[in-house]
């Protein structure tokens, strides 16, 4: 039997640095992103976290899983899984798709792009594994083929006020004609890719989809060309800050995919993942921390809980339709941002110098890998769950997303957030209900300004 050192070495050999990004020898801290490691910081997390408001960043999302479905019923397959449908879906358009189980709880979500009339690509993590399972073992069959193409594509983000100038400079082609969630083919030194207008940063920006073998070349060219515009390379430490500022709920950070349970379908799904060696990306291992609940199903959410009710359309058949229809007229919860009281937050850090030390608040936020939820209270009653507690250097505030009972989602409502683990020192922190997104949404504004 191998000793612990051998087992550790074998495990480490299965995880590598992000293959699409050139190694920076000055980097000495790393953050895990799915099955690869990426630099934690290139400059500093503060410098990188302001880049998408002032200049631009380039970031690597290539490790996300990617699924390609082709055939006459490729679109119908995704519509069956998704809460929305797309009668006017056009080539080189993209859509946000949300997949639910029959109880209306989200099992995965991601972006679908139409590469051809019968050719779609979908990127996610839990959404990809769920789509694979439904294709092979679901209640309906579709005239299409399915293929995991994760390693065949790079996926970069170029986001921020200077993204237009950078992309036009490096490609020699205009991008101001692109409408939101539409793509067109561009090239850098002969390397072609699809440039999708998108904005996970909450700013105007682009996602670049291209062949993996050309990823490093394209990435390096953008970094070099963007230097005069102040481009930053985005490390793993600052990456999720924009998820909170821009209110982009994320599986494994703000909610858990609804894959925890022991009903027949989930048992079959778990067996499917194990047989296909997909357990390492299945989110089955993710749990929950914090004083709200450590029970994973407590962090299963509906689209309405996460501000995605507008992406639910009942004019087609989809998994979870009946459950969502039952709550559509009066959803119990809403998504808001909480702005935490700065004096109370400062006291948490001050407690590091007292005997009654409170739980430390990592900056800018905790690493991924589990949902950390804090109870949100009004008049001693728990009315919500604060997730993704995050320090925004740009706004000089500690903020979080919050799934809260709808009656308490009124802007300006004062609530209390319980900070600290059970059976350890705890503190009630004052907070105010703010809009989600907290930062003004710039994604759809004109690219010509």
Contacts of 179-185 with CB under 8 Å at 24 or more apart are 180/443, 180/444, 181/93, 181/94, 181/95, 182/92, 182/93, 182/94, 183/92, 183/93, 183/94, 183/113, 183/209, 184/92
| CA pair distance 24, 35, nearest whole angstrom | 19
Does 207 appear as a known binding residue?
A: yes
The pair of three-digit structure tokens given for residue 140, joined into one six-digit string: 């309906």
pLDDT at 406: 97
**What is the number of helices (H) and of strands (E) in the chain?**
10, 22
Cα 354 to Cα 222: distance, rounded to the nearest angstrom: 48
CB proximity list for 328: less than 8 A, separation 6 or greater? 304, 309, 312, 314
pTM: 0.94
Closest of 69, 66, 185 to residue 118, by C-alpha: 69
Two tokens, residue 123: 């990127």
Per-position pLDDT tens, the chain of length 449: 334 333 333 344 456 888 899 988 889 899 988 888 999 999 999 999 999 999 999 999 999 999 999 999 999 999 999 999 999 999 999 999 999 999 999 999 999 999 999 999 999 989 999 999 999 999 999 999 999 999 999 999 999 999 999 999 999 999 999 999 999 999 999 999 999 999 889 999 999 999 999 999 999 999 999 999 999 999 999 999 999 999 999 999 999 999 999 999 999 999 999 888 776 666 667 789 999 999 999 999 999 999 999 999 999 999 999 999 999 999 999 999 999 999 999 999 999 999 999 999 999 998 777 899 999 999 999 999 999 999 999 999 999 999 999 999 999 999 999 999 999 999 999 999 999 999 999 999 999 86
With beta carbons less than 8 A apart as the criterion, state whether 159 and 57 touch. Answer: yes
CB 78 within 8 A of CB 124: no
CA distances from 107 to 112, 252, 256 (A): 16, 11, 8
Helix crossing, 215-226 with 163-171: angle to 10°?
A: 120
- Quick one: 30 exposed, middle or buried, by C-beta within 10 A (0-12, 13-18, 19+)? middle
How many whole angstroms separate alpha carbon 423 and alpha carbon 46? 33
Tokens for 136?
């092979």
Contacts of 115 (CB under 8 A, 6+ apart): 68, 91, 92, 121, 194
Alpha-carbon distance of 222 to 206, in angstroms, equals 12
Residue 188 forms beta bridges with which residues? 191
The helix (run of H) or strand (run of E) holding residue 335 is strand 333-340
What pLDDT is attached to residue 42?
96
In the block, tokens 């410098």 appear at: 47
Phi, psi dihedrals of residue 274, rounded to the nearest 5°: -65, -40
Nearest-angstrom CA–CA distance, 282 and 259: 9
Residues in CB range of 319: below 8 A, 6 or more apart: 80, 81, 99, 100, 101, 102, 134
For residues 153 and 66, the answer to whether their CB atoms sit within 8 Å is yes
């Amino acid at each position: 039997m191998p000793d612990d050192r051998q087992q550790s070495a074998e495990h480490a050999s299965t995880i590598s640095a992000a293959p699409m990004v050139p190694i920076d020898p000055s980097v000495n801290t790393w953050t895990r992103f799915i099955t690869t490691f990426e630099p934690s910081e290139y400059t500093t997390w503060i410098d990188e976290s302001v880049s998408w408001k002032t200049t631009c960043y380039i970031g690597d999302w290539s490790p996300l899983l990617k699924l390609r479905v082709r055939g006459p019923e490729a679109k119908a397959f995704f519509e069956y899984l998704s809460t929305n449908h797309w009668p006017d879906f056009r080539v080189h358009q993209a859509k946000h798709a949300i997949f639910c189980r029959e109880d209306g709880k989200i099992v995965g979500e991601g972006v679908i792009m139409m590469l051809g009339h019968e050719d779609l690509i979908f990127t996610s993590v839990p959404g990809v594994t769920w789509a694979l399972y439904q294709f092979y073992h679901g209640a309906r069959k579709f005239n299409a083929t399915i293929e995991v193409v994760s390693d065949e594509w790079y996926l970069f983000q170029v986001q921020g006020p200077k993204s237009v100038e950078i992309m036009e400079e490096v490609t020699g082609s205009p991008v101001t004609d692109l409408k939101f969630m539409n793509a067109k083919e561009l090239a850098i030194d002969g390397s072609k890719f699809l440039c999708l207008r998108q904005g996970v940063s909450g700013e105007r920006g682009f996602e670049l989809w291209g062949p993996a073998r050309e990823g490093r070349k394209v990435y390096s060219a953008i970094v070099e060309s963007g230097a005069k515009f102040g481009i930053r390379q985005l490390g793993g430490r600052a990456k999720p800050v924009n998820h909170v500022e821009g209110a982009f709920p994320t599986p494994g950070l703000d909610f858990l995919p609804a894959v925890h349970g022991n009903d027949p379908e989930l048992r079959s799904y778990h067996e499917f993942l194990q047989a296909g060696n997909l357990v390492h990306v299945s989110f089955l291992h993710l749990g929950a921390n914090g004083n709200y609940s450590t029970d994973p199903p407590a962090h299963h959410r509906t689209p309405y809980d996460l501000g995605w009710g507008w992406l639910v359309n009942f004019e087609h058949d989809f998994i979870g339709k009946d459950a969502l229809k039952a709550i559509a007229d009066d959803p119990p919860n809403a998504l808001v941002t909480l702005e935490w009281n700065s004096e109370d937050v400062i006291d948490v850090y001050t407690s590091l110098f007292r005997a009654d030390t409170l739980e430390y608040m990592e900056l800018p936020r905790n690493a991924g890998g589990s949902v950390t939820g804090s109870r949100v209270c009004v008049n001693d009653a728990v009315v919500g769950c604060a997730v993704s507690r995050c320090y925004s250097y740009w706004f000089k505030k500690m903020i979080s997303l919050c799934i809260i009972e709808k009656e308490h989602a009124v802007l300006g409502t004062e609530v209390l957030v319980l900070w600290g683990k059970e059976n350890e020192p705890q503190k009630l922190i004052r907070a105010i209900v703010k809009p989600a997104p907290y930062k003004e949404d710039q994604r759809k504004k004109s690219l010509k300004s």
